[in-house]
Structure 1
Amino acid sequence: MWVPLPLDEITLGEPLPVAVWDPRGQLLLAKGAAIRDELHREWLRMHTPVIRREDHDIWRKHYVAALDRAVRRNESLQTIARIARPMQFDEPVAQPDETARPLSERLADLHAALTLLLHQGSHAQDFGGRFVQIDRQLGRWLHQQPDAVLLVLVQMLFNPRLGYSAAHALTCAAVAGLTAQTLGWPAATADALRRAALSMNLGMARLQDELACQAEPLRPEQRQAVHAHPQRSEAILREVGVRDALWLDLVRDHHEIPGGGGYPRGAVEVSEPAQLLRLVDVYVARLSPRLHRPGLPAPRAARDVCLDASGVPTPLGAALVRTLGLYIPGSYVELANGELAVVARRGARATTPLVLAFTGRDGLPRSEPLLRDTAEAAHEVRRSVPAQEVKVRVSVERLLARV
């Protein structure tokens, strides 16, 4: 049962706590996506946006509760009138029945929660508690379903409707945590890496979302903010009570390069975990399509960050490829028989993932994707396909159901 979306009551630029549909059941905005500006709002209005009644009832309950709290505090009528419809609910990210919900929905909730936290920064209530909850949930799902988590997160990176800062942070956290396990690093190091990846761009989260949608080059003040964001992120984390020295050092140093070629300090000595975080950060950024440039095919992104100046894989780069393969789950490939497929699981070798073919040889979409083993000659990978070349809409829920 559908209820009209209260479109004029939505705060622009903040992640929506509900999914938005048209009256025919076509998804217009995923949960966690934002209405970017007034033009975007008017585009939605033309499609008669609706939300599920159960989502409407929960949302209304929180809105009424906010109004009730203001009345009980004896706020003025003017103050009460300015109370906006809440863009985040107070329930914890994890619910008792979470495992009954599709992983894509759970990760969409995590994306929305992280977006809000990164945007609020030191102004967020209970930053530490909310952050730890997001990190623990991601860590648990990574342990249970690493390939499925990667698939959903990479698909989020390719979705221009979702805020880039949180999608980038979650993907980096997953890749860094898994690579640390490949390297055999202690659990405490892997945990600090994952948390640093989630928070390393805290000092420029809103700017990062803006830059993903900006066609022109960085303006001088934007470039200055980008250069300063590692120290700004570290300062915010200290302000909200983070005391983990490794976590803080990783955030501060995630753009430093051994020998002094990085920023903001030009450090000569850079720890291996900080070097890995920088490598992962660049890898995920190169995978991601932006308004001003296309994303790179997965093997090209891996090659660019994993080889040294002489073309030899670095130890950390080799570990990344051993962890992900050349074709990270969620990325696209063309098979030898002409089918287009999305990578579903990592294979026995870096070049032989298991994939789900969602078009036939004629390029027409299939009603149900078919599982293919690219170790077989008939289904081997012909080439990696950048996300912007894929014109067929792929349902992540349907992909997960076939894995």
Structure 2
Amino acid sequence: MKMLRLPRSKVQIGAPLPWSVRDAQGLLLLSRGHVIESEHQLELLLQRGAFVDAEEVRATERDAEPVQPKVSVPPPNLFGLWQQTAEGLKKLLASAKQAPDFAGRVDQFAQHLMELLDSNPDIGIYCCVRQDNAQNFYYGYSHSVQTAMLCILMARRLDWPRGRLMSLVKAALTMNLPILDLQGQMAAQDVPMKDKQRAAIRQHPVQSVALLEKAGVTDADWLAAIAQHHERPDGTGYPLGCSDVCELAIALRVADVFMAKISPRALRSALSPQEAIRELYREDKGGSLSTAIIKEFGIYPPGDFVKLASGELGIVVQRTGNARAPIVAAITDTAGQPVARTVRHDTGQPGFAIVANATDKAMLARLPPERLYGFSSAPPGPSVQDRPPKA
């Protein structure tokens, strides 16, 4: 019996296995037709060592019929829902002065982000990494959303209590309250920061706290994180140059800076995730915050454009237990020519290993992300701002 290592990319979560799974000695682990219910269950199986009979695989491929979709209705377009978040946050923050329960509405928006992220964390990360067609006007709002998303991942990785996590996420959403539109202007300008802009930037932590207190925010951790999120333990930060910086503020600054580095501006290109992670790791001296981000993003995060050992170019679409070996959707053939249908590869297989980052991104300009994940491109449903607040 010739054994092949279980191909991760061929296993569909929630669907019956097309062949039996055995260990390295040929002992039966799972019978054909068994349903693997979760990514966690699959990861444990692969770590144990999972193999399939080569002849059984060939026989299954010969007898296979065209796969019919399990449902006729396509899954919701998560990309559209993520795209709505910047406009949703803009509307929310514009109501800070008159909303009767502004703090509660920010809490609801934070909950909405967590629900989106839980639907598919890989898509959330993809939207942060792939910003080729980002609108500069919304930069301040999209950056706040992306920073909040990273705060969720980071705090969960560090096992922070839910209350502490929520304070951090709400701080990320509101940290730049008085300069959100200014951030959009600066993202679009092709000249360095002006003195007037620099002065506004240096004062925004104090002004943000004042605006939030007027809007009824009383959460001390939320407010302290914003007040100190540009301070540094060595005293070189602003606006006060203090060195006694709270942990939430340090975490917020790390997430804020990392997201800013991987976001493009008119004046500069975005850093690659690998460059941003290296800089973060050096600055944090390999501390818990940088380690948490590396573990959540992986070395090649979803959205990264890479070249495979096969010669194909593709986009990372799914993380795995191996930070260096994600699942990649190929968008070219082995000669580098675009293909109409994407094929997923497990880069843990030597023939499809990632060999480099791809640099020519022209072919990505019109590539709909829905193609990579199988989502409908229909308009998304109502945003969180269109729903009434929870009682």
Query: Partners of 2:196 and 2:317 in 1: how far apart?
Result: 41
Alignment of 1:256-295 (within 5 A): 256-295=231-270
Relative to structure 1, the CA distance from residue 203 to residue 347 in structure 2 (aligned partners, 3 Å threshold; closer, same or farther) is same
Of 332, 336, 340, which aligns to 1:359? 332
The match for 1:189 is 164
The match for 1:104 is 79
The match for 2:345 is 372
Tell me which moved more, 361-370 or 315-324.
361-370
| SS of corresponding position for 1:361 | coil
The match for 1:327 is 300
Query: Partners of 2:79 and 2:259 in 1: how far apart?
Result: 19
Cα displacement (A) at 1:123: 5.9
Of 360, 367, 378, which aligns to 1:394? 367
Q: One-letter code of the match for 1:297?
A: S
Contact residue 102 and residue 397 of structure 1 kept, 8 A: yes
Tell me which moved more, 238-247 or 392-401.
392-401
Cα displacement (A) at 1:228: 1.0
Q: One-letter code of the match for 2:97?
A: S
Cα displacement (A) at 1:273: 2.3
Cα displacement (A) at 1:195: 1.2
Deviations 1:318-349 (A, max 9, x none): 12111211222223222223322222121212
| SS of corresponding position for 1:307 | helix
Relative to structure 1, the CA distance from residue 383 to residue 363 in structure 2 (aligned partners, 3 Å threshold; closer, same or farther) is same
Matched, 1:248 2:243: no
Query: Partners of 1:399 and 1:327 in 2: how far apart?
Result: 16
Contact residue 341 and residue 356 of structure 1 kept, 8 A: yes
Query: Partners of 2:220 and 2:204 in 1: how far apart?
Result: 18
Contact residue 354 and residue 372 of structure 1 kept, 8 A: yes
The match for 2:143 is 168
Q: One-letter code of the match for 2:314?
A: A
Query: Partners of 1:204 and 1:382 in 2: how far apart?
Result: 41
| SS of corresponding position for 2:97 | helix
Unaligned runs of 5+ residues in structure 1 are 1-98
Contact residue 299 and residue 384 of structure 1 kept, 8 A: no
Deviations 1:202-225 (A, max 9, x none): 121000011110110111000001
Query: Partners of 1:284 and 1:223 in 2: how far apart?
Result: 20
Of 322, 325, 331, which aligns to 1:349? 322
Of 118, 121, 136, which aligns to 1:143? 118
Contact residue 309 and residue 352 of structure 2 kept, 8 A: yes
Total equivalences in the alignment: 302
Q: Rg bigger for which structure?
A: 2
Query: Partners of 2:301 and 2:90 in 1: how far apart?
Result: 24
Query: Partners of 2:360 and 2:237 in 1: how far apart?
Result: 30
Relative to structure 1, the CA distance from residue 383 to residue 121 in structure 2 (aligned partners, 3 Å threshold; closer, same or farther) is farther
Matched, 1:303 2:278: yes
Contact residue 129 and residue 273 of structure 2 kept, 8 A: no
Cα displacement (A) at 1:199: 1.2
The match for 1:223 is 198
Q: One-letter code of the match for 2:81?
A: R
Of 189, 205, 208, which aligns to 1:214? 189
Query: Partners of 2:170 and 2:360 in 1: how far apart?
Result: 28
Relative to structure 1, the CA distance from residue 133 to residue 388 in structure 2 (aligned partners, 3 Å threshold; closer, same or farther) is farther
Cα displacement (A) at 1:181: 0.9
Tell me which moved more, 270-279 or 391-400.
391-400
- Identical pairs, percent: 34
| SS of corresponding position for 1:189 | helix
Cα displacement (A) at 1:303: 0.8
Query: Partners of 1:121 and 1:132 in 2: how far apart?
Result: 13
Q: One-letter code of the match for 2:352?
A: H
The match for 2:289 is 316
The match for 1:237 is 212
Cα displacement (A) at 1:391: 4.5
Cα displacement (A) at 1:357: 1.6
* Structure of greater relative contact order (alpha carbons < 8 Å, 6+ residues apart): 2
Deviations 1:36-70 (A, max 9, x none): xxxxxxxxxxxxxxxxxxxxxxxxxxxxxxxxxxx
Contact residue 345 and residue 353 of structure 1 kept, 8 A: yes
Alignment of 1:110-129 (within 5 A): 110-118=85-93, 121-122=96-97, 127-129=102-104
**TM (normalized to structure 2)?**
0.71
Tell me which moved more, 327-336 or 192-201.
327-336
CA RMSD in angstroms, aligned pairs only: 2.5
Query: Partners of 2:359 and 2:223 in 1: how far apart?
Result: 34
Unaligned runs of 5+ residues in structure 2 are 1-73, 376-391
